[in-house]
Structure 1
């Protein structure tokens, strides 16, 4: 390629480069390119290099490649720019092709080491194993084998291939290792789920930095080893925002939301500013807890510290949090406030939230709005939509959208989608149709699919189908106590007490323990938990039981009759009524009545499905005591107000 040496050409080149510096759009750039063609500046290194650089930075790689193909003798710098840009694109293999072109066309390969990390990255991304081996062969024949920047990239390439043994082999033979070498291999082990290999390497390290420790905390968390993540965290003398975020995420991932929230508050008290992933994790923790006071505090913190809800997935997480804390109106408010910047996650969060509240028609309307703005729904969108139809009993609509998902949007149903449509039929009493779908679907039914049929069999008193579903579910998940309990309940409803006793014996022999009903309520910033028959913290037990007796007495005077059929034990009626009165959600409600002003809502979170008697009980209390009662059970929300529930007795 010629260089601009004469005065007029140099001036023209400098003017063109200056124009490219000020250029902001590809439209402007194409006009400058046309000018360069007319003035023959496309043969001058400085101008054409600037042009290709602009294209790569703008993401217009196809255009850059067209320009490059017309350069007679491209230099190493131009090759480097294109190789790096393509290695980070979806068409990463183009980097490998360009690298081969560079090797064959340049006489001097000075600076090739700057291209190699990008080429190796491209091989890893595009799973070009053969080409990666060839690049490594070239490296081994040159001084580049002694460059840790290059050899670290070889290790990462093999990890991208999933070849952890080859990555370790390269690591062991590296002439020079630095912290990046150790951290790359540790991260690769963790990504592959090889937690013990990562741990062994971590303990071998001659020195560690934040990257090493943060990677181990994150890896332990994703493997369910929170105690080891905490151990690393405690031993660290220096912690950054990534450290705290990794620990918080580990707690959230392992269903320990309280520890996540406590760690977040500790982080703030030390003056560490949270990043977007930390905010998302904490919002997820609050959503798991289900207490809106914490969520409102978090939202206020974000507003005070000018943390944008458009950053990362914060908007989606905020919508999800409000929905799971029973505040669907607030979730909608957030959704509306980001009307011009909504992503697919925001739409999915609000549809899923509406489903959780049994608002099937509203979820369908949101979906239609989504189609009207020509945003393509994904499999998560339809999972939320089918769930919304399920919770609202919209059988025909559920069938329609199950078909639309496949016919219009070419989305192949996953087991979760089949589970929703099976539950929709089973819950509505169409057990034969549900079983028909199970027989026809191309994937094997999982535990949740059979549990849906089992639960519906229990509801509709279908003993034969219930037995089949229970045995299939137990075979798939012998440790899941709910399968045994549901089958035991079906037998109890049929008066088959010997079979009930046999199920309990099997559970005992298999060391399967029934999950006790537990309900939580947040009062004055403190979470109070109640188990069936007792309070975990005994401090208020006497008061709660006394209040509960008063409520039961008052409701009976209003016509309440305990539904003794909900106690599936072979005992006298008096004993059954006593057991009903000690259900955890009633205990939590009594505590709420003691500590909540009249007219204020009472929020209760329960770990299991609310029973029919407690549902009727909540309805009456909402009317007699003038309280809105919001209960989140295992499946959905129930909003009790003025003697009726939002679920319309369909749950």
Structure 2
């Protein structure tokens, strides 16, 4: 049977079936050519399907091809217009979406059919930030029966919310002829997005009925607005929870630095038989990374493997890399990195580079970056932030300056404030304070508090009172509630013996209600977290043992040449008293506890909330050699791996 003898309806059905299976533009071209030969281009249903499926396919050049076919049709129907309006909005041509809609209105006069395209054109107005045009479309809607269609009126509310016109959206919401759950949930989401927690809460209480979306929206919004206690209240009042409910609450805990609660909730979720989704796993890995509990991280990693969850799903691989590195196990992080297929995604590469950075492995981070380039994976702003951080921690000044230029010249990435901050930190750490100040003077944007604190921190280490004082005063001006700037300024004065100025800084802090953050170190032994505050232990019951162990360590280390660095005690006290104060640094107490309560040769992992001081650094180096222990300390900025009497940072931090 020849093609010409096949009934048109049969031929059309076969062609439409083939169109639905198209996975490339080449296949669309071939079927279109066949349609031309068989005159199916004049068959309304078939040509409509070609344009619709092509424009909604998200394939490269599919929209332009669909548009070229559309221009050859004399009387396009509403379905063709709908597909082109939606496809243009969803795949990068919002202006084209509006144009097609205007053409449709001028060609057709069927309001019920036009209504299907309105959400897309209103969404296009949001993307274009076209408030004026959006209000014009709204005006047209008000003049017709379309205003009484919740599908349309809800789209109007969402448009104004996306445009940031929260009051306008509320006025539309209040005047809606009919409000459904979508209307209420959209309005609540809008309020929470701009931080209007009280208004969102009020609307939530007024809802005539609620669904899971309503509760989940409140949990997510409260968490992102820093109101974790309200998120928890909503979560606990729910009679029915889905995986999104659990994920939203876990995420709320992580965002608000309640990492232990996030981990506990994840365990509760599993015990109730709720299978976590990818975002839940990513969030709980972030919580574990914050806590530094590698055994918990390994347990989650095992769960991922046993559940046959693809490491390439979402950000799981990146989260695992980040978790292992922040727990001090950079080798495990690198192993995960090598096991995943990267494709053209740069997320995993960025995580690996940043992980190597906080471990002070600058050269290794550069090697990963060069491998990334060889694979033609284009680095982004985050890639360079990680790379510059690696150079800074590794003291690779020449490399940092070179790649700062490469970022701009080769990749056309304009430096942002964070990039300048990394360059300033790199130069300052290396002792090039004058060059660091020149960067601040010549950068096109005003330096933030982090940039000035980088100058201040380096000045403190170098004992440069003049530059340090200037940096401190500027940092305090930018953030008067940040205690670290006052403390570093006080330390500079103390090192210079300017005790009157030290007293003035402390008085300033007292008058402004700024409190110094005490040094705190934690260590996990037998699955339990033990914390120590500078000058006193936080967990009672073993203080005398810890203090005795520290005295033993000091005596033993002095035989190996250890001399306490009394310059690290920045108080105006007698020399004998300074030695006693050094012994009460939190990381020394955590180390002593670890030596008492772990078996000989077992590695010790300590997490500290502030930067490790020079005396503790020298002390732990000696302990690692004399007692044959691998000791890993995660401080505020980076990791120190102590082994055989040396540190991975090579005394540069």
Q: Structure 1-normalised TM-score?
A: 0.97
Report the secondary structure of 1:570's partner residue: coil
After TM superposition, the runs of 4+ consecutive aligned structure 1 residues lying more than 6 A away are none
Matches of 1:72 and 1:522, distance apart in 2: 75
With over 3 angstroms needed to count, the CA separation of the structure-2 counterparts of 1:150 and 1:545, relative to structure 1, is same
The answer on 1:506 being equivalent to 2:508 is: yes
Matches of 1:128 and 1:92, distance apart in 2: 10
Q: Which residue of 2 aligns with 1:48?
A: 47
Q: Which residue of 1 aligns with 2:238?
A: 236
On the 8 A contact 1:356/1:391 being kept in 2, the answer is yes
What pairs with 1:42-121 in structure 2 (closer than 5 Å)?
A: 42-59=41-58, 60-121=62-123
Report the secondary structure of 2:216's partner residue: helix
Shift of 1:342: 5.7
Matches of 1:499 and 1:133, distance apart in 2: 61
Matches of 2:299 and 2:151, distance apart in 1: 46
On the 8 A contact 1:520/1:528 being kept in 2, the answer is yes
On the 8 A contact 2:520/2:533 being kept in 1, the answer is yes
What pairs with 1:498-577 in structure 2 (closer than 5 Å)?
A: 498-577=500-579
Per-residue Cα deviation, 1:143-188 (whole angstroms, up to 9, x for no partner): 2111111111110011111111111111111111111111011111
What pairs with 1:377-388 in structure 2 (closer than 5 Å)?
A: 377-388=379-390
Shift of 1:24: 3.6
Q: Which residue of 2 aligns with 1:38?
A: 37
> 82-91 or 343-352: which moved more?
82-91
What is the aligned counterpart of 1:630 among 622, 629, 632? 632
The answer on 1:291 being equivalent to 2:293 is: yes
Shift of 1:528: 0.9
Matches of 2:596 and 2:348, distance apart in 1: 38
Shift of 1:498: 1.3
Matches of 2:344 and 2:67, distance apart in 1: 33
With over 3 angstroms needed to count, the CA separation of the structure-2 counterparts of 1:79 and 1:341, relative to structure 1, is same
What pairs with 1:435-514 in structure 2 (closer than 5 Å)?
A: 435-514=437-516
Report the secondary structure of 1:306's partner residue: coil
Per-residue Cα deviation, 1:74-131 (whole angstroms, up to 9, x for no partner): 1112222222222222212322111111111125444222222222222222222233
On the 8 A contact 1:310/1:341 being kept in 2, the answer is no
Q: Which residue of 1 aligns with 2:356?
A: 354
Matches of 1:491 and 1:287, distance apart in 2: 36
Q: Which residue of 2 aligns with 1:15?
A: 14
Aligned-residue RMSD, C-alpha: 1.7
Structure 2 runs not aligned, ≥5 long: none
Matches of 1:298 and 1:15, distance apart in 2: 49
Matches of 1:110 and 1:204, distance apart in 2: 32
What pairs with 1:323-334 in structure 2 (closer than 5 Å)?
A: 323-334=325-336
With over 3 angstroms needed to count, the CA separation of the structure-2 counterparts of 1:19 and 1:423, relative to structure 1, is closer
Matches of 2:531 and 2:204, distance apart in 1: 40
Structure 1 runs not aligned, ≥5 long: none
What pairs with 1:207-246 in structure 2 (closer than 5 Å)?
A: 207-246=209-248
Q: Which residue of 2 aligns with 1:407?
A: 409
On the 8 A contact 2:476/2:485 being kept in 1, the answer is yes
Q: How many residues align?
A: 648
With over 3 angstroms needed to count, the CA separation of the structure-2 counterparts of 1:444 and 1:19, relative to structure 1, is closer
Matches of 1:532 and 1:228, distance apart in 2: 34
Report the secondary structure of 1:528's partner residue: strand
Shift of 1:72: 1.4
Matches of 1:266 and 1:45, distance apart in 2: 56
Matches of 2:341 and 2:632, distance apart in 1: 28
Matches of 1:446 and 1:550, distance apart in 2: 45
Q: Which residue of 2 aligns with 1:150?
A: 152
Matches of 2:70 and 2:542, distance apart in 1: 78
With over 3 angstroms needed to count, the CA separation of the structure-2 counterparts of 1:7 and 1:411, relative to structure 1, is closer
What pairs with 1:269-348 in structure 2 (closer than 5 Å)?
A: 269-341=271-343, 343-348=345-350
On the 8 A contact 1:217/1:243 being kept in 2, the answer is yes
Report the secondary structure of 2:542's partner residue: helix
On the 8 A contact 1:291/1:603 being kept in 2, the answer is no
Report the secondary structure of 2:541's partner residue: helix
Report the secondary structure of 1:239's partner residue: coil
With over 3 angstroms needed to count, the CA separation of the structure-2 counterparts of 1:425 and 1:22, relative to structure 1, is closer
Report the secondary structure of 2:453's partner residue: helix
With over 3 angstroms needed to count, the CA separation of the structure-2 counterparts of 1:498 and 1:18, relative to structure 1, is closer
> 457-466 or 55-64: which moved more?
55-64
Q: Which residue of 1 aligns with 2:623?
A: 621
On the 8 A contact 2:111/2:146 being kept in 1, the answer is no
Shift of 1:340: 4.3
Matches of 1:527 and 1:541, distance apart in 2: 16
Matches of 1:493 and 1:227, distance apart in 2: 44
Q: Which residue of 2 aligns with 1:431?
A: 433
Q: Which residue of 1 aligns with 2:257?
A: 255
Report the secondary structure of 1:422's partner residue: helix
Q: Which residue of 1 aligns with 2:24?
A: 25
Q: Which residue of 2 aligns with 1:164?
A: 166
Matches of 1:346 and 1:7, distance apart in 2: 54
Matches of 2:433 and 2:573, distance apart in 1: 31
The answer on 1:416 being equivalent to 2:418 is: yes
Matches of 1:220 and 1:22, distance apart in 2: 44
